[in-house]
Chain A
Amino acid sequence: MALTLEHLMLVSIAVGLAIITGVPIGVAITQNQRAADLVLYVASVIITIPSIALFGLMIPILSVIGQGIGYLPAIIAVLLYSQLPIIRNTYTAINNVDPALREAARGIGMTPMQRLKMVEIPLAVPVIMAGVRTAVVMNIGVMAIATYIGAGGLGTYIQRGISQTDPRQLIIGAVAVSLLAIIADYALLWVQKKFTPKGMKVMG
Chain B
Amino acid sequence: MLAQQMRRYLYYGMLLLIFLFGVWAERSGFLEEMLEYEEDVVYLVVEHLKLTAVSGGLAVLIGVPLGIVLSRPRFSHVAENAMQVLNIGTTVPTLALLALSMSLLGIGNSPAILGLLVATLLPIVRNTYTGLLSVPVHLKEAASGMGMLPRQMLWQVELPNALYVIMAGIRTALAINVGTAPLAFLIGGTSLGELIFTGIAVDEQAMMLAGAIPTALLAVTVDFVLGALTFVLVSKGVNPLRQRPAH
Contacts and interface: CB of A to CB of B under 8 A. Distances in A.
Interface of A: 32-35, 38, 45, 48-57, 59-60, 63, 69, 137, 140-142, 144-145, 148-149, 155, 158, 161-162, 165, 167, 170-171, 173-175, 177-178, 181-182, 185
B208 A162 contact: no
A162 B200 contact: no
10 A-B pairs closest in CB distance: A56-B212, A141-B93, A50-B179, A34-B3, A53-B215, A174-B96, A174-B99, A53-B216, A178-B92, A53-B212
Nearest to B193: A52
Interface of B: 3-4, 6-7, 10, 88, 91-97, 99-100, 102-103, 107, 175, 178-180, 182-183, 186-187, 193, 196-197, 199-200, 205, 208-209, 211-213, 215-216, 219-220, 223
Main secondary structure of the interface of A (DSSP, over half): helix
Contact of B99 (A45, A149, A170, A185): A170
Contacts of B216: 49-50, 53-54, 57
Provide the main secondary structure of the chain B interface. helix
A56 B213 CA distance: 8
A148 B197 contact: yes
The residue in B88, B99, B216 that gathers the most chain A C-beta atoms within 10 A of its C-beta is B99
Contact of A144 (B96, B107, B187, B223): B96
Given A170-B102, A177-B96, 8 more contacts: A52-B193, A52-B215, A55-B212, A141-B94, A141-B95, A144-B93, A158-B96, A174-B100
Contacts of B215: 50, 52-53, 56
Contacts of B205: 59-60, 63
A38 B7 contact: yes
Contacts of B107: 165
Contacts of B183: 52, 145
B219 A50 contact: yes
B213 A57 contact: yes
Contacts of A149: 200
A162 B187 contact: yes
B191 to A, nearest CB: 10
A85 B88 CA distance: 19
Given A140-B93, A171-B100, A56 B200 contact: yes
A60 B200 CA distance: 10
